[in-house]
Structure 1
Amino acid sequence: MATYTPAHFRGDPLLPARGRHLVGRFSYGVTPALARQVRRQGGPRAWFDRQLSPGRVSDPGVAGLRDWWPSLSRQPAALWQRQVSGTEGGWEVMLDYERWVLMRRMTSRRQLLEVMTEFWENHLNVPAVGDAHFVHRTDYGDTIRAGALGRFDQLLHAAVAHPAMLVYLDNAVSTARHPNENLGRELLELHTVGRGEYDEDDVKDSARILTGWTVDMWDTWAPSYDASRHSRGTVTVMGFSDANAAADGRDLTRRYLRYLAHHPATAARLARRLAVKFVGDDPSDSLVDRLARVYLDHHTAIVPVLRALVSSAEFRDAVGAKVRDPGEDLVATYRALGVSVARPTTGKDAANQMLWQVADMGTMPFSWPRPDGQPIDNQSWSSPSRLLASMNAHLAMSGGWWPSEGITYRSPRSWLPQDRVRFDVLVDHLSQRLLHRRSTSRLLRACCEATGLAPGEVITRDHPLVKWGMPRLLSTFLDSPAFLTR
């Protein structure tokens, strides 16, 4: 029987390095299946362009996922009554929301949309923790997803006027007599222009502009606009000024938010944030300026900015420059190992347990309690404790040890490309499968040290590596810098 060497065995064609970089930044991990999809659609840039129009991408895998956690589809008043009666706490519903989000990221064919939805849910943060606003939080996520690739001025209005945001930042209890400044301040500081562009008088008038938008808390939980709560009289916020004479301030809100969305400071702030997320932690001022100009020239449309970003030399040269955060790491691990997750029937099932896995790594999706949203820089996710937690999760999943219920792992034998293969060829094969790149001498040396095997050793279906050593080998790839970065 033949022994295969690197010159004899090849897996599926790999995407070119720049293509892998593009697809990897705008997905939750390049898998063989995703690479085949990219090739069928004409290559990485064609795939990217298609992903920018998610309606063109069929996505049957996510259709029934919400049904796995029925309370995600319940109405706000019903959710509140279930909490009051002790049937189901809001915190339980929100944990299920986080599970649903993780499953969407794993299975959706609209990978770019999921990535951008996460980006905007963090920028316009309403935590999936805490009381009261949980009744509207699932719909808030749907609202962000619907606008994630549209225009920011429209997305901003949809987010600010959403009942989840109104409750979270106290606008629901704001009145003409006592305007609450929380939403008015965070709108300026976090959502749009940023610190240094406004003063305390601006914050006060920002809050007055937003009065009237409210929610019937503790009863129906229905959002509404109550003109009697609206604070009338001249308002001035930076360069925006209005007589504010109408009892109904909704049109004023729309014009105010449009002003903020089109402000050069907002353009620069969003451009920098996109560059930090998709290029590197210290993007050049020239890149930020170019992206900001595109944003303003296209009336706050998001897609042209993304096109300009990926066309830049800075993006092309930023291979491996971003550390995966815990959520990205866990989802990529599930995708790389090719596991199948079943609808949960108990709390022990993988679809429920995955949340504790990502919590061990450092954070659960949208659990960041402050309005500023989860960090997107490398340093926040590069601690020794985070690395050790990731390594523990990689090893547990490589061995199929935890989660162990409601999940189907690949068998150790299935990782062999042939019944009889040299160890160095197996390492190269697994590198292509798990990392979507050819092996290196450094990676081969790490695999040899992890398993105690020599490059030329022949691996068969009954080899000790297959019988009990495969977890150490697989986790070596998942613990590598190539996997822990995107």
Structure 2
Amino acid sequence: MPVATASPRARARLLGASERLLVGRFSYGITPELARQVAARGGARAWFEWQLSPGKVRDPGLRGLDDWWPGLRFSGAQAWKRNVDQVEPGWVHTANYQRWLIQRRLRSRRQLLEVMTELWEHHFNVPANGDPQFVYRKAYGDTIRKRALGSFEELLKAVVTHPSMLIYLSQAVSTKEHPNENLGRELLELHTVGRGHHTEDDVKNCARVLTGYRIDLWNTWEASYQRSWHWTGPVTVLEFTDPNASTDGQAVTGRLLSYLAHHPATAQRVARKLAVKFVSDDPPQGLVDRLAQVYLDEGTQIRPVLRALVDSAEFKASAGQKIRNPVEDVIASCRALGVRHTRPTEDASGANAVLWQCTSVGVYPHGWPRPDGLPQTNGAWATPARMMGSMRLHFTLSGGWWPKVDTRYRKPAAWAPDYPIRFDDLVDHLSRRIVHRRATAELLQACSQATGLSPDERITRDHGLVKWGFPRLLVTFLDTPDFFAR
């Protein structure tokens, strides 16, 4: 039963359950500001449609962010020279890219775009950590962000031939004499049709088609196409056949990638990927089939598939079926508590230290070392170790204890709408702000146990709860199943 509140002052506007589901799945955490945006757009579905056109969404929160880590402006030869000269070692460049991503997810009003960019960066995984692909890794992420809501075909063509992907999977040194099969294999197994739909001969022919793309590693880092490297001769990949007679294989590469993007097995794989991320770990096959058909009917366009997904009965019934991964937890916790990082001035600055907070819970942003990308299922993250890491993180942030430098926390006295206030009214107010639900009797009981206060206790600005006990109260909300759920 919801707690009966005594004071209307403690009540903030709430999104309805269906709105909370939609906005929560396509953002990094609902905040009072985001809830107001949803109301201003006329509801969650209208907000979602607005978000599908990110160019229409003003994004002042990102103003100046590109100046925080100026080394990210460099790529290729410049980034490598800075690494060799120890001006900015590769691991620092990588860490700064990860920090930049965290700040985008914390601050951006284009929340859906950031969520989808992250999804595709995992699908087409190139680890941010590691030599030498780091020199083009930010450019790779930017390439994905520009196409995250367009057609999968164009996205596929852009990422498969991108320098960072070519370096990571050794395609940058693949020649007609010695075709490297890494990218050809992952193109089929992970990026498009999936396991069980191709043979070893298909992998070999993919590798042959992709020969010719070159990066001048360790020297100029220039990306080029070398016609003398391209393998020529007839190729067959699944039902795709091509004479592949020209020494310039860029056109046949485009034809092969177009074929794979429109393949029914790829449609199934993309549809399942989206359904697992946004609906459930084991989505109904009927939903996957419908999404796959929309994907094919709409020429691999992503927006129509997302519309069909959120309008489905399966999505609307999926509340509570997805949990946040560790990085999402860190970002959502900062958003819920109103933690603000300012431009970093030293290594200990909050905008830098937040990366170590992610690792304390379990994973770097885009630090997954294998080509298959970060797991999207609950089972990968619903572990005792993850739970303990999250609880430590929540308590640290609730107390404003770390990081301290260039970081702003909401003062305990600022959490109440007014003073004096009954404890049960304060709990309901915080529940509405942090988890966007009315406080239940169970939550009130948990908060009472955490603080030792009774529901009718009168809280003033000089009360011990405000002076020293607020971290125990705040962390209770962050440790609830409602907050762990997306």
TM-score where L is the length of structure 1? 0.98
Does the 8 A contact of 2:75 with 2:139 survive in 1?
no
Does the 8 A contact of 2:11 with 2:428 survive in 1?
no
Q: Quick one: distance in 2 between partners of 1:362 and 1:241?
A: 45
Letter in 2 for 1:40: A
Q: CA deviation at 1:7?
A: 5.2
Q: Quick one: distance in 2 between partners of 1:453 and 1:171?
A: 63
Cα distance per residue 1:154-206 (max 9 Å; x no partner): 00000001000000000000001100000000000000000000111110000
User: Counterpart in 1 of 2:353?
Assistant: 353
9-18 or 154-163, which deviates more: 9-18
Q: Quick one: distance in 2 between partners of 1:148 and 1:127?
A: 18
Q: Quick one: distance in 2 between partners of 1:315 and 1:15?
A: 17
Q: Quick one: distance in 2 between partners of 1:123 and 1:65?
A: 26
Q: Quick one: distance in 2 between partners of 1:193 and 1:99?
A: 33
Cα distance per residue 1:187-243 (max 9 Å; x no partner): 000000000001111100000000011111111111111111100000001111101
Q: Quick one: distance in 2 between partners of 1:395 and 1:82?
A: 38
Q: Quick one: distance in 1 between partners of 2:79 and 2:20?
A: 43
Secondary structure, in 3 states, of the residue corresponding to 1:433?
Answer: helix
User: Counterpart in 1 of 2:455?
Assistant: 455
Q: CA deviation at 1:99?
A: 0.3
Cα distance per residue 1:109-147 (max 9 Å; x no partner): 000000000000000001001101111000000000000
Provide the aligned C-alpha RMSD in A. 1.0
Does the 8 A contact of 2:175 with 2:212 survive in 1?
yes
Secondary structure, in 3 states, of the residue corresponding to 1:236?
Answer: strand
User: Counterpart in 2 of 1:259?
Assistant: 259
User: Counterpart in 2 of 1:219?
Assistant: 219
Letter in 1 for 2:88: E
User: Counterpart in 2 of 1:407?
Assistant: 407
Q: CA deviation at 1:321?
A: 1.1
Letter in 1 for 2:243: A
Letter in 2 for 1:227: R
109-118 or 314-323, which deviates more: 314-323
Structure 1 residues 12-23: aligned runs within 5 Å: 12-23=12-23
Does the 8 A contact of 2:10 with 2:417 survive in 1?
no
Cα distance per residue 1:47-93 (max 9 Å; x no partner): 00000000000112213212111110013211111112222211110
Letter in 1 for 2:445: R
Structure 1 residues 161-310: aligned runs within 5 Å: 161-310=161-310
Cα 1:288–1:216, aligned 2, differ >3 Å: closer, same or farther?
A: same
User: Counterpart in 1 of 2:323?
Assistant: 323
Equivalenced residue count is 483
Q: Quick one: distance in 2 between partners of 1:366 and 1:8?
A: 44
5+ long unaligned stretches in structure 1: none
Structure 1 residues 104-183: aligned runs within 5 Å: 104-183=104-183
Does the 8 A contact of 1:172 with 1:214 survive in 2?
yes
Secondary structure, in 3 states, of the residue corresponding to 2:331?
Answer: helix
Q: Quick one: distance in 2 between partners of 1:285 and 1:7?
A: 48
Q: Quick one: distance in 2 between partners of 1:73 and 1:369?
A: 24
Structure 1 residues 426-445: aligned runs within 5 Å: 426-445=426-445
Q: Quick one: distance in 2 between partners of 1:293 and 1:347?
A: 50
User: Counterpart in 1 of 2:53?
Assistant: 53
Q: CA deviation at 1:8?
A: 3.4
User: Counterpart in 2 of 1:482?
Assistant: 482
Cα 1:329–1:37, aligned 2, differ >3 Å: closer, same or farther?
A: same
User: Counterpart in 2 of 1:91?
Assistant: 91
Q: Quick one: distance in 1 between partners of 2:10 and 2:129?
A: 47
5+ long unaligned stretches in structure 2: none
Does the 8 A contact of 2:212 with 2:249 survive in 1?
yes
Does the 8 A contact of 2:235 with 2:242 survive in 1?
yes
User: Counterpart in 2 of 1:371?
Assistant: 371
Q: Quick one: distance in 1 between partners of 2:86 and 2:74?
A: 16
Secondary structure, in 3 states, of the residue corresponding to 1:274?
Answer: helix
Q: Runs of at least 4 residues of structure 1 off by over 6 A?
A: none
Secondary structure, in 3 states, of the residue corresponding to 2:324?
Answer: coil
Q: CA deviation at 1:417?
A: 1.6
Structure 1 residues 2-21: aligned runs within 5 Å: 5-6=5-6, 8-21=8-21
Letter in 2 for 1:110: R
Q: Quick one: distance in 1 between partners of 2:342 and 2:86?
A: 28
Q: Quick one: distance in 2 between partners of 1:330 and 1:67?
A: 23
Cα 1:146–1:384, aligned 2, differ >3 Å: closer, same or farther?
A: same
Secondary structure, in 3 states, of the residue corresponding to 2:224?
Answer: strand
Secondary structure, in 3 states, of the residue corresponding to 1:30?
Answer: coil
User: Counterpart in 2 of 1:382?
Assistant: 382
User: Counterpart in 2 of 1:68?
Assistant: 68
Q: Quick one: distance in 2 between partners of 1:8 and 1:259?
A: 60
Letter in 2 for 1:217: L
TM-score where L is the length of structure 2? 0.98
Secondary structure, in 3 states, of the residue corresponding to 2:9?
Answer: coil
275-284 or 456-465, which deviates more: 456-465
Secondary structure, in 3 states, of the residue corresponding to 2:236?
Answer: strand
Q: CA deviation at 1:445?
A: 1.0
Q: CA deviation at 1:6?
A: 3.2
Does the 8 A contact of 2:10 with 2:428 survive in 1?
no
Q: Quick one: distance in 2 between partners of 1:225 and 1:459?
A: 70
58-67 or 281-290, which deviates more: 58-67
Q: CA deviation at 1:10?
A: 4.4
Secondary structure, in 3 states, of the residue corresponding to 2:118?
Answer: helix
Letter in 2 for 1:322: K
Q: Quick one: distance in 2 between partners of 1:15 and 1:83?
A: 48
Does the 8 A contact of 1:5 with 1:421 survive in 2?
no
Q: Quick one: distance in 2 between partners of 1:12 and 1:212?
A: 60
2:13 is equivalent to residue 38 of structure 1: no
Q: Quick one: distance in 2 between partners of 1:385 and 1:43?
A: 38
Secondary structure, in 3 states, of the residue corresponding to 1:224?
Answer: strand
Q: Quick one: distance in 2 between partners of 1:241 and 1:75?
A: 37
